[in-house]
Chains A and B, each alone.
Chain A
C-alpha cells in the first residue's frame, strides 16, 4: 500500500474518531461549565452542581433517568419475550412466506416514527393508555419487538434445533428442553436482544411525546426540555447520562467478542 493511501486512511479514521469524541468532550465540559459564552475558549468557572443533583437523586433529571431505565428494561424484556417465538417461527419458514413474514415484522421499523406514533396514539388513547407509563412502554415495545424479532430470525437460522430433539429423545419434556437446553444456549443472543430493545426505548422521543403526552417524563424528553429552556449545563449532564447504556453495550459486545475468540481457539 502506498504511503499516500496509508496517510489518507489514518486521516479518515482520525476524522471519524474525532467526530464521535469531540461532541462527547464538549458535552463533558458543558456539564461542569458555568458562564461559558462566546468567544471564551473555556468556561469561566467549573461546577459539579448538576452531577451532584443527579447523583444525590434530586431534581427532574434523576426522576427522568429512573423512568427511562424502568421503561427501557421493561421494553427490552418484553421485546425478548415476544420476539423469541416470532424470530423462531420466521426462521422456520421458507421461500415467500419467510420474506412476507420478515416484511411484516419490519413494517414498524420502516414506518417513519412520527407516523407510527400518530397511528398508535389514536388507538392507545381510545384504550385509555395515553399519558400513562404502561402506554409508553407498550408503544416503545412496538419498534423494539420488530427489531429484536429480526435479530432472533438470524439467530434461529443458525440454531441447530436437533439439539432440542436430542434432549426430548433423552427424556426431557418440552418445558425442560427449553429451560435446560434452549435458554442456556441462547443466553448471549437473549442478552443482546435485551440490550437492543433497551437502547431502542432509551433513546425514544416521538413515541414518548405522543403517547405519554408530556405526562411521562423520560430522560430524552427532559434533556430536550432543558435545551429548549437554555439550561445547557443540566442538558449536557442528561445527554452524557443518555450515552452511558450505549457505551456499556459497546464495551459488553467487545468483551463478548474477545471471549468468543478465546473460546474458538
Chain B
C-alpha cells in the first residue's frame, strides 16, 4: 500500500475561543489535488492553517509522507501554506524570494541558483530574477509565490483560495501555473475554494466542509451527481427544491405529480432537489406550466416556470426561449431527482 502524502485522522481545531472544526478525516495521495469546498466561515482556512502548524489543532494522526507531524513546528512539516494574496518578501528580489526556502535549508549557493532558475522557468518568469516584488503584476506575484512554495519540493502544498481575488483572465493564468507546478514537482495539493466550477475543474477529490465537519468527500462527478445529504445538495446550489413524500410503493408524490424513483428510499416526508437539466420543455410533457421569467447566464438561458405554486428553473437545452407568460409543456427525468428525508 502506498503512503499517502497527507493523512488526517479526527482533526479538531478551535475558531479562536469558539468551538471549531470537529472530527475531520481525509487523505490525499502524492500528486493528487484535493479541493476543499465550503461556505465563508466554514473553517476552510482554519483547516489549512492547522495542517501547516500555524493554528492550534488536535488530531489522532496528522501524517505527512508517513510521518506524524502533529507536534512539529511549521518549518519541519514538509508542508507549505500559501495565503490568498501572495506575500512576497518586499525587501528581497524575485530570485532571492524564490531561493529563500533553499537559503534557510543551507543549500550550497551554486545548487540553489540552478534550482531558482528551474523554478522560475516553470512559471515562465526566467528573466525576472533581479526584479523587486513591487514591480510585478498581480499574476506575476502569484507565479513567483508558487515557484517559491515549490522549490524545496514539499510533500504537501496548501493553497488558500488562490484565485479568489483575481479577475477571470488572471485566474486562468494562475490556474495554469498551479497545474504546471504540480505536474513538474508532484506534491499533494490541497486547495480551498468556494467556486463549484473550479472545484470540479481542478479537484481529483472534493471535500465539502459544512457546519464544522466534512460532510462529504468524493470524486467531483460523483459529488455533483449524488450528494449524500440534503445540506450538501443545497450547498451545491441545486436551484429546484420540491417538498413531497415517498409513498410505500417507492414513488415521490408532490406538485410534480407521482414520480417513480429507482433508488430505495424510506417512506415519509421528503425533499427533492434537482438541476434545471432534469426538467425539459417539450411538445408533449406531463404537465403544462406558465413561464414566469427567463434567466440568462454565461453558458445557458433557463426559464422559470410555476408548478402548483412552486417555481422551477428549467433548462432550455438549445431550444428557442419561450415567450414570457406562455404555457409550456414539461417533462422530468426522475433519475435526476435527488431525494432526501425532509429535515
Contacts and interface: CB of A to CB of B under 8 A. Distances in A.
A171 B83 contact: no
Contacts of B75: 168-173
A166 interface: yes
B104 A169 contact: no
A15 interface: no
Given A169-B54, A169-B74, A170-B149, A163 B104 contact: no
A169 B52 CA distance: 7
Interface in A142-175: 160, 162-163, 165-174
Contact of A166 (B87, B103, B104, B105): B87
B143 interface: no
Contacts of B100: 167, 170, 172, 180
A185 B74 contact: no
A151 B100 CA distance: 30
Contact of B54 (A160, A168, A176): A168
A173 B81 CA distance: 15
A170 B91 contact: no
Interface in B83-108: 83, 87, 89-91, 100-101, 103-105
Contact of A169 (B80, B89, B103, B105): B80
A184 interface: yes
Contacts of A165: 54, 74, 81, 83
Interface of B is mostly: mixed
A46 interface: no
Contacts of A160: 87
B54 A170 contact: no
Nearest to B103: A180
Contacts of B103: 180
Interface string A108-146: 000000000000000000000000000000000000000
B79 A170 contact: no
B51 to A, nearest CB: 10
A2 to B, nearest CB: 43
A19 to B, nearest CB: 41
B104 A176 contact: yes
Contacts of A163: 87, 89
B232 interface: no
A25 B101 CA distance: 57
Interface in A163-199: 163, 165-174, 176, 180-181, 184-185
Nearest to A174: B73
B104 A171 contact: yes
A163 B73 CA distance: 16
A162 B152 contact: no
A196 to B, nearest CB: 22
A39 B133 CA distance: 65
A110 B134 CA distance: 41
B148 interface: yes
Contact of A167 (B52, B73, B89, B152): B89
Contact of A170 (B53, B90, B101, B134): B101
Interface string B125-142: 000000000100000000
A48 B104 CA distance: 57
A188 to B, nearest CB: 11
B59 to A, nearest CB: 18
Nearest to B145: A166
Nearest to A170: B101
A160 B53 CA distance: 18
Given A167-B104, A180-B100, 15 more contacts: A160-B87, A162-B87, A163-B89, A165-B74, A165-B81, A166-B83, A168-B53, A168-B54, A169-B74, A170-B152, A172-B75, A173-B73, A173-B75, A176-B104, A181-B89
Interface of B: 52-54, 73-75, 79-83, 87, 89-91, 100-101, 103-105, 134, 148-149, 152
Nearest first, the 6 A-B pairs at minimum CB distance are A168-B74, A172-B104, A169-B81, A170-B101, A166-B87, A171-B101
7 contacts: A163-B87, A165-B81, A166-B82, A167-B100, A170-B101, A171-B75, A171-B101
